[in-house]
Structure 1
C-alpha cells in the first residue's frame, strides 16, 4: 500500500538491520506508530539472513496492509575484507556498505517526517540521510544500561586500546566488571569492535534516541543519559517500551502447554541466534531432567536457522532422554512465538540468554528469569534483571565457549531455585506492573511515544 499523502499525517520510514533480535522491536514500533495515526514505510533488507525473518515479514505485511513495504537490495561484498566470520555481523556490514543506495529509494516516497534506523547502522547511515535533510531517530534495541556502556566504551577504547579497567564506572550504573564486557570487544581489530566504536561515537549526531525500556526499570541510568552525565551533547533519549507484541505475532501456543498445571513449566530458550555446543546441550538436558520440573525447551544447534537439522536432535541428548521425559518435557527446534509461550498460565520460569527482547517479554508477562548470558549485551542485561529482583544469574557460568561446560547437576539446582523462589515471583510481578503502567494511558513510555509523534506533527505544521 502506498504511504499517505495527507500533509497532516507524519510519514515515518523504519530501517532495521539483521536478525530477529533487531527486526522484532522494529515491527512492534511500526505497528504502534501506525495505531498512533502515522503513515509507515517499512524498509526490508534484501536478502534476509534467516528464514524466521522472511516468514515474519510476510505475516507482518499481510496483517497490516496499511504499511508500505520498501525493498532495499543490498550489495554483496567479499567477506575476507572484514575481520569476522559471524554471519550476522557480516550482514550488518553489507547493509552499512550499501548505505549510498538508500537515498534514491527515500526520494521516491512522499516526504518523510523522519527515518528511524537501527543502532548497528548509525555511523553509516546518519551522514547519508543528513544530506536529504530528513530527521534521523535511532531505535536502541537493548537496555538503557547497555546504551550507557555503548556511549562510554569509545572513550575507554581510544584512551587505552584494548587495555580495559577492572571496572567501568558509568554514571547511573553500578560498576560494570571487565568480565561483563562482550569478548569480541577485547579484540580491537574485530569487525564487531569497529562497528561498536563507530556507532557509539555517531550517536550524538542523531536527532533522537528511542529505547525499548521504561522509567520504572532503569530510571537512574536514564536520568544520567538525559542529564548529559554519560556523554555531553547527547540527543534526547525517549523511553517507549516495553514494545508490546503485535496481533500478527499471536498464534496458538503449543497444545502441550495446555495440558500442564499452572506455573509448573520452565521455558528454556537462548534466542534466535545462540547455538550451544553439543556437550553443553547434553548437560542442559541432564540439568532439566534433574530439576524435577516440567520443561519446554527450544533448542538451537546452529546459529542460522536454515542450517538446522531436526534429525540430529536425538543424537544431541543423553540416551533414553525422550522416553524418560515424554510426559514432563517437550523439546522443539522450530521457530516459536515466544511471547505467547511466556504468557501461557502453565509457564512459571524462563531460562534465558538475556537478549533484550526476551527480557522485555518476560517482564510483560511477569515471569522470573534464570539468566545464562552467552554474548553481546547479555551480561549487562542480566544485571538489570538482578537489580530489579526478578532474575538470577550465575556469574561463574562463562560466555559461550568460555569457562568450560556447566554440569547438569548445577543447572538442575539453579532451575529449582528459579521455580521455587517466592521472592523472584513477587519481583517479577512488581516489574510487570511497572511495565503495564509505563505503556498505559499517561505512563512514561506512552508519553514518550506520543511526544515523538507530536514533534513530527509540529514539524509538519511548522513547514
Structure 2
C-alpha cells in the first residue's frame, strides 16, 4: 500500500558513468522506495559506457515501474586534453558538459521536484540548475569520507602543486596525514582531465545542502567528526552517513551457477576474488594470481576482467589461464567472466575472504557482512580506502605492493597473503565486529536509516 500523497517529496537521482557510480544510486533509490513516501525520478546518461550499466538500469526500472525515468542524451566529448584516454573519465566530462540540458526536463516534472541527489562529478553544472529551480542539491559521494575530503581539499593542494613532489605526506586539517604514495598520481598534474574535473566540482560543494555518503560512523569516525566540525574545510556541507547501503533486488538467474557451486563448499572455505567493474589486470599478473590461488590450497571464486569496458572483454578463459590450470582447479576453483551480483556472493556462508581492489562499494559490501579483505589497490581512491580497511580491522594491506598497475606481484607472495587472509583468527574476529557495527547502522532504526529519514522529513517540511 503506497503512502505517497501531495506532501510526499519528489527526488531526482542523477548518477554519472560506471557501475561504481550507478550502484550506490540504485541502492539509495531502492531504500527511498522502501519507505513508500517519496516520488522518484532517475536520470541516466545515454549512451552508457558499458553494457552492464544499460542492463542494470533497464532491470531496475522494470522492477520499479513507479519510478519516472529521464534519459539524458550525452553530447560526446572530443576535447584536446591528451592526459587520458580512460573512457569513464571522458564520459564524466561529457556528462558534466551535457547536464545543462536537464533544466527544461526537470522544470516540467509532475509533481514538482523537491530535491536533486546528484553525483559529485556533475556538481559544478547541477548546482546552478538546483538553485534556479529553488530546490536543494544533495551530493551523493561514491567513495569513502576520507577520499571525499581529499577531493574537497584538492583546490588547496593544487594552489602549490610543486610542493606535492617534495612532501612525504599530505596534511588535511583534522585528519590523519595521508602518505604521498596514497595520492592518485593524476592529482599531481593539475592539467590531467580527472584532476581538473574534481577540482572544478570541489569548488561547487559549498552550494550543496549535504553530502550523502555510503559509510557509517563506526568505520570512519575520525573523518566524519572532522568534516562535520568544520575542521577539514569551513564551507563543507554536512556529511550524512547512509551506509552500508542496502542491496536491491537483482536478476538472480544469471547468478545460479555461482551460487550452486558455492552451495557445495564448506563454510568460510572460499576466497572470493574480484577487482571491480573497471580494473583490467595485465596477462602476466593474471597468470601470477592464478599461481597464487592454486598454491594457497583454498577454494576460490574468481571474477576475471581483461578490459576496462565489458563490451571489449573478448578473451577466452582458456587463452588467459591455459587448459591445464582450468583442469587442475576444476574442483577447487571457479573462474567467471562478466558482471556478478557481488553482494549475493559475499552473503553466501561459504565465503571466508575477499581479495579486492578496494573500490568503495566493495568495501562497504564486505563490511556489511564482516568478510575479511586482502586489499590490493589498483588506482584512484583505492589506496586511501585500503588504509581505512586496515585501520578499521576489516582487512590486511601490504603498502609495499604499491599500485597494482605498476608492479608485477609474484604468485608465491600472493599465496602467502591468502594464507594470512584465510587463517588469521584475530583478523576474522575483528572483521566480524565490523560487520556487527555495519548491520547495526544499516538496520531498522539504525543510524543510516535515521539520517535518510531526516532528509525526507526536511524535504516534507519544505513543501508545507
Residues 162 and 186 of structure 1 are in contact (CA less than 8 Å); yes or no, is this contact kept in structure 2?
Answer: no
Instruction: Extract unaligned runs of 5+ from structure 2.
Output: none
For residues 323 and 200 of structure 1, the distance between their equivalents in structure 2, rounded to whole angstroms, comes to 51
For residues 26 and 427 of structure 2, the distance between their equivalents in structure 1, rounded to whole angstroms, comes to 30
- After TM superposition, the structure 1 stretch with the greater mean CA deviation from structure 2, 5-14 or 109-118, is 5-14
The C-alpha deviation readout for 1:401-456, integer Å capped at 9, x for no partner, is 31x20010000000110000111111111111111111223322121111100100
Moved over 6 A (4+): none
Aligned-pair CA distance for 1:289 = 0.6
Q: Which residue of 2 aligns with 1:159?
A: 160
Instruction: Extract unaligned runs of 5+ from structure 1.
Output: none
Q: Which residue of 1 aligns with 2:380?
A: 376
Q: Secondary structure at the match of 1:163?
A: helix
In the alignment, does 2:180 pair up with 1:181? no
Q: Which residue of 2 aligns with 1:452?
A: 455
For residues 15 and 148 of structure 1, the distance between their equivalents in structure 2, rounded to whole angstroms, comes to 21
Q: Which residue of 1 aligns with 2:306?
A: 301
Residues 269 and 350 of structure 2 are in contact (CA less than 8 Å); yes or no, is this contact kept in structure 1?
Answer: yes
Aligned-pair CA distance for 1:186 = 2.0
For residues 349 and 80 of structure 2, the distance between their equivalents in structure 1, rounded to whole angstroms, comes to 49
Q: Which residue of 2 aligns with 1:282?
A: 287
The C-alpha deviation readout for 1:59-86, integer Å capped at 9, x for no partner, is 1011111111111111113144564200
Kindly report which structure 2 residues correspond to 1:60-459, keeping only aligned pairs within 5 A, or say none: 60-81=60-81, 83-110=83-110, 111-161=112-162, 163-164=164-165, 165-248=167-250, 252-253=255-256, 254=258, 255-311=260-316, 313-317=317-321, 320-402=324-406, 404-459=407-462
The C-alpha deviation readout for 1:239-268, integer Å capped at 9, x for no partner, is 111101002365545121111111110000
Q: Secondary structure at the match of 1:170?
A: coil
For residues 167 and 154 of structure 1, the distance between their equivalents in structure 2, rounded to whole angstroms, comes to 17
For residues 400 and 108 of structure 1, the distance between their equivalents in structure 2, rounded to whole angstroms, comes to 47
Residues 7 and 460 of structure 1 are in contact (CA less than 8 Å); yes or no, is this contact kept in structure 2?
Answer: no
Aligned-pair CA distance for 1:42 = 0.5
For residues 384 and 376 of structure 2, the distance between their equivalents in structure 1, rounded to whole angstroms, comes to 12
For residues 232 and 60 of structure 1, the distance between their equivalents in structure 2, rounded to whole angstroms, comes to 38
For residues 391 and 240 of structure 2, the distance between their equivalents in structure 1, rounded to whole angstroms, comes to 22
The C-alpha deviation readout for 1:294-323, integer Å capped at 9, x for no partner, is 100000001000011142x22222561111
What is the RMSD computed on CA atoms of the aligned residues? 1.7
Q: Secondary structure at the match of 2:181?
A: helix
Cα 1:162/1:376, change in 2 over 3 Å: farther
Residues 114 and 136 of structure 1 are in contact (CA less than 8 Å); yes or no, is this contact kept in structure 2?
Answer: yes
Q: TM-score, normalised by structure 2?
A: 0.95
Residues 278 and 308 of structure 2 are in contact (CA less than 8 Å); yes or no, is this contact kept in structure 1?
Answer: yes
For residues 458 and 30 of structure 1, the distance between their equivalents in structure 2, rounded to whole angstroms, comes to 21
For residues 136 and 8 of structure 2, the distance between their equivalents in structure 1, rounded to whole angstroms, comes to 16
Residues 161 and 188 of structure 2 are in contact (CA less than 8 Å); yes or no, is this contact kept in structure 1?
Answer: no
Kindly report which structure 2 residues correspond to 1:26-65, keeping only aligned pairs within 5 A, or say none: 26-36=25-35, 37-65=37-65
Cα 1:226/1:345, change in 2 over 3 Å: same
Residues 11 and 41 of structure 1 are in contact (CA less than 8 Å); yes or no, is this contact kept in structure 2?
Answer: yes
Q: Secondary structure at the match of 2:113?
A: coil
For residues 412 and 335 of structure 1, the distance between their equivalents in structure 2, rounded to whole angstroms, comes to 25
Q: TM-score, normalised by structure 1?
A: 0.95
Residues 310 and 333 of structure 1 are in contact (CA less than 8 Å); yes or no, is this contact kept in structure 2?
Answer: no
For residues 418 and 222 of structure 1, the distance between their equivalents in structure 2, rounded to whole angstroms, comes to 28
For residues 327 and 353 of structure 1, the distance between their equivalents in structure 2, rounded to whole angstroms, comes to 26
